[in-house]
A and B are shown apart, each in its own frame.
Chain A
Amino acid sequence: MKEIYEAKNYSYELNPDMLKLLREEFDVDKVTSKFTEAIKGKSAGEIEAEGKAIFEEYGRNWIRQSQKLGEEYPDRTYEVLLEAIDKTGGYLRFALAPQRFLEIAYLSTQEISILPIIENNVNRLVYRMVDCDTYKNLKEKCGEEVANLLPCRHACLTACETLHRDLGIDALVQMEAQIPKDGYCQFAARRA
């Protein structure tokens, strides 16, 4: 009984080594450079197609690696979440299990201290990117007009869809807001 009253040397935050590995592998500077190179001399339609191809692949790999490393580098918050899910039923994995991997993905590759979570309940997971480095990079390298087409949305949408599919959660993913119009991008996964 006594041990219950003592603080343990757990880490409740994300493992810095894991974040570093992801940051190096999924550097937004690299993917935006690749895109910039690929669209040189291309028409608007071709730019959209290039963006879709490049960022979808990036998003898929980014979230799968975030999930893989997230499992390899557990923290106490995640362990307790798994205990809670085990106790209350697998249906309740949504929204916190996908939320964790999304937080890992964004916190490792963006210069943000938290991923703003707008909703996380049994029906919906909604999160927001306010000061997006990918968008800023695109604006810098390709100009505002191309950046405002948001080719990068394919990365975020694919990441969210892939994650839920891989976790076996039937969810409908939508983009609810876009930086050029709303000042931030917002993504929502609704349990189908």
Chain B
Amino acid sequence: MCWVCEAYGDPEVENGRWYLNPKNHSRNMYKIKKPDQKAAAYGSDPEAQSGRNIGEIMQFRFTDPDKFNQLIKEANAMKGSGPFQIGQVIPIQEAYKVVEMSYPVASMSCICRIHNRAQEERNEHEYSCTGLGVGMLKWERWPERYKGGVNFMAPDEAKEWLVKWNKKGMVHIIMTFGGSYVGGVCNCDYPDCGMIRNRVDYGIETGCLKSHWVAKIDYDLCTGCGVCVQRCQFGAIKFEVTLDKTNIDQLKCFGCGLCETGCPTNAIELIDRESLPGLREVW
């Protein structure tokens, strides 16, 4: 069980998976503010705070590498109790359950692609991110964040939307927005996605934990076509020339399932990470 499940999961609900616990998808719609209470300042939301904290760490990357490494260690040790957004890779089968459970579900623009690629997604035909829950009812409070608006989707529509991005090779990452509250399931790729990049390039774990699954290949069914190699965002699959087949490095595998959904011969399956002694603590 990952540390987020230990903190926010319910052992009696969906094998203790925190992101499938309905409580983590639930929130009040309204709050009564005291007469003298001012609205929170811009940037005080968890997403912005997390970005700011990671930004502060990054400034030491070249100026003070020791401090940079130390701050990353400290951030990882906080395990979500600090001001860092929690994100975890999930396979599409679990993303389906999430969009069935949460309401409303809306497509929206990806903030990472704006920041990292200057790529604006201006309308529902271009959006690639998915917002979840009551927060989406107040999207107009941040017009700069939600450029173009949002597009509310029924569960079946949301599933088709996830399939569209999965086919394109995007990793589904479930994201929190304050505590354990699940506010989005992003469709991510390297290097656009800030969370994947922070994890893969710098070792900042909180925003991109590995999934509860790990990919396993059936060599009898693998034809060595290489589709899975192309689809893996984490460099966990390589083509083995001597075998004429592909091979998965399970220690590197994030369990996103893109190799599984892309495999033309169904040679790859996802197995429970915790069933493998060497991987059960690798998140």
Contacts and interface: CB of A to CB of B under 8 A. Distances in A.
A12 interface: yes
B22 interface: yes
A84 B106 CA distance: 9
B124 to A, nearest CB: 11
Interface in B138-164: 138-144, 147-149, 152-155, 157
Contacts of B27: 117, 120
Contacts of B152: 83-84, 87-88
Interface residues of A, number: 40
Q: Is the interface of A mostly helix, strand, loop or mixed?
A: mixed
B103 interface: yes
Interface string B1-38: 00000000000000000000011011111111110000
A107 B30 contact: yes
A77 B154 contact: no
Contacts of B274: none
B153 A88 contact: yes
A12 B26 contact: no
A96 B101 CA distance: 13
B91 to A, nearest CB: 21
Nearest to B35: A16
Contacts of B31: 13, 113-114
B80 to A, nearest CB: 21
Contact of A88 (B25, B100, B104, B147): B104
Contacts of A10: 140-141
A81 B137 contact: yes
A115 interface: yes
A96 to B, nearest CB: 6
A4 B138 contact: no
B32 A117 contact: no
Interface string A89-132: 10010011001100110010000111111111110101000000
B146 to A, nearest CB: 9
Nearest to B27: A117
Chain B interface category by residue count: 35 or more
A76 interface: yes
A51 B147 CA distance: 53
A121 B104 contact: no
Given A96-B29, A115-B28, A116-B28, A12 B23 contact: no
B158 to A, nearest CB: 9
B50 interface: no
Given A84-B152, A119-B22, A114 B103 contact: no
B42 to A, nearest CB: 10
B26 A112 contact: no
B32 A92 contact: no
A113 B143 contact: no
B159 to A, nearest CB: 13
B22 A7 contact: no
A114 B32 contact: yes
Contact of B134 (A4, A19, A96, A122): A96
B149 A4 contact: yes
B187 interface: no
A80 interface: yes
A185 interface: no
Interface in B99-139: 100-104, 106, 134, 136-139
Contact of B143 (A5, A118, A120): A5
A14 interface: yes
Interface in B147-204: 147-149, 152-155, 157
29 contacts: A4-B143, A4-B147, A5-B144, A7-B140, A12-B138, A13-B31, A14-B32, A77-B29, A77-B134, A81-B137, A84-B136, A84-B137, A84-B152, A88-B153, A88-B154, A88-B157, A95-B103, A96-B29, A96-B137, A107-B30, A113-B34, A114-B30, A114-B31, A115-B30, A117-B27, A121-B22, A121-B26, A121-B102, A122-B101
